[in-house]
Structure 1
Amino acid sequence: MKTLLLIAAVASISLATSCNNTKNNDTDSEMTAGQKLDQTLETLEENQDHAKAVLKEELAKAEDRVNKAKANLDEAVRKGDKRAEEDAREALDEANTFWDKTKATAREAGLKIEEGTNNAIDATKDAAKSTGNALDRAYDKTVDATKDAADATGKAIDNAVEKTGEKANKVADDAEKKLNDLKNR
């Protein structure tokens, strides 16, 4: 019974840890957000499957204990040994109680594992959605900044062309004025 609770606790911790673990190895920086989401969901499923397998194993052990106690009781009844029969009935009652408690614990642990997995999956999906929204906002800001830079560059070019034109006109006017002065002398 305590083993099942320990298993459920370890499975829950494993699920939570897998969601919060941001640095697995050096290749993480090369993974996309989608790949990380897929990896996290796969890890959650593996942990859930492992926890369910351990629970099934514990249930099988409890069932075996009941079956052995029944077999011992049948053997004691067949032999007519009242003391062995009484001991076997006690062992069967204990095995049935253990079996019932194990089933209840397994049901509860299974629900908690399922709930923990679902919560972790939801949190992971929410994180992926938030990442996508952040990327969309960053893209929009980049587009806006690029437009602003293009506008500023265009204005600077227009201003430079205007000033160059003014300077060229002034130089031309000065040259024409000097030419007229030379002609008039």
Structure 2
Amino acid sequence: MKKLMLIAAVAGTIIATSCNNNTKNNDADNEMTAGEKLDQTLETLEENQDHAEAVLREELAKAEDRVNKAKADLDEAVRKGDKRAEEDARKALDEANTFWEKTKATARETGVKIEDGTNKAIDATKGAAESTGNALDRAYDKTIDATKEAADATGKAIDNAVEKTGEKANKVADDAEKKLNDLKNR
């Protein structure tokens, strides 16, 4: 029973730590995309869940074996007619059955907790991936908006420069024509 509780605690810790999204490694070659991180987390969760279920099945099998052995001992004591051994075997069978029932109840409870924890971790991981996707979409939209604004400002600056250059060219042409007329009129 203590083993089951320890296993449940370890499984819970593994599930909780697998949801940690903090990456402290700044090496660009080792960085994962949100999708890769999600896939890895889901695989880890499945592996941990499978391991915990295997341990629970093993504990259940041990408890069942204990009951079967106690039944066999009782049958043997009855067959031999040994009242003292029969009494001890009945007591051992009762204890084995109690242990068996407690183990089944703990296994059911632990299995539900593992599955519930796994589902919560999967939902949290999917939520984090969705949030990352939404943040990327917002960043993309802002980049597009900023690019459009910069292009509009650049276009306006070019239009303004062309207009001023045109005005200056017209003024220079007007001045040149005026000087030419002045020279002709002299």
Same fold (TM over 0.5): yes
Change (3 A) 1:94 1:81: same
Change (3 A) 1:157 1:24: closer
User: In structure 1, what is the Cα distance between the partners aligned to 2:176 and 2:23?
Assistant: 72
In structure 2, the residue corresponding to 1:140 is in which secondary structure? helix
In structure 2, the residue corresponding to 1:166 is in which secondary structure? helix
User: In structure 1, what is the Cα distance between the partners aligned to 2:11 and 2:59?
Assistant: 15
Counterpart for residue 96 of structure 2: 95
Alignment of 1:137-176 (within 5 A): 137-176=138-177
Counterpart for residue 110 of structure 1: 111
User: In structure 1, what is the Cα distance between the partners aligned to 2:37 and 2:152?
Assistant: 38
Please report the TM-score for the alignment, with normalisation by the length of structure 2: 0.93
Counterpart for residue 79 of structure 1: 80
| Identical aligned residues as a percent | 86
Alignment of 1:55-66 (within 5 A): 55-66=56-67
1:12, distance to aligned residue in structure 2 (A): 1.0
What RMSD in Å do the two structures reach over aligned CA positions?
Answer: 1.5
Counterpart for residue 8 of structure 1: 8
1:42, distance to aligned residue in structure 2 (A): 1.1
1:77, distance to aligned residue in structure 2 (A): 1.6
Change (3 A) 1:115 1:128: same
Please report the TM-score for the alignment, with normalisation by the length of structure 1: 0.94
- Deviation string for 1:35-93 (max 9, x for gaps)? 21111111111111111111111101111111111111112222222211111111111
Counterpart for residue 38 of structure 2: 37
Unaligned runs of 5+ in 2: none
1:21, distance to aligned residue in structure 2 (A): 4.5
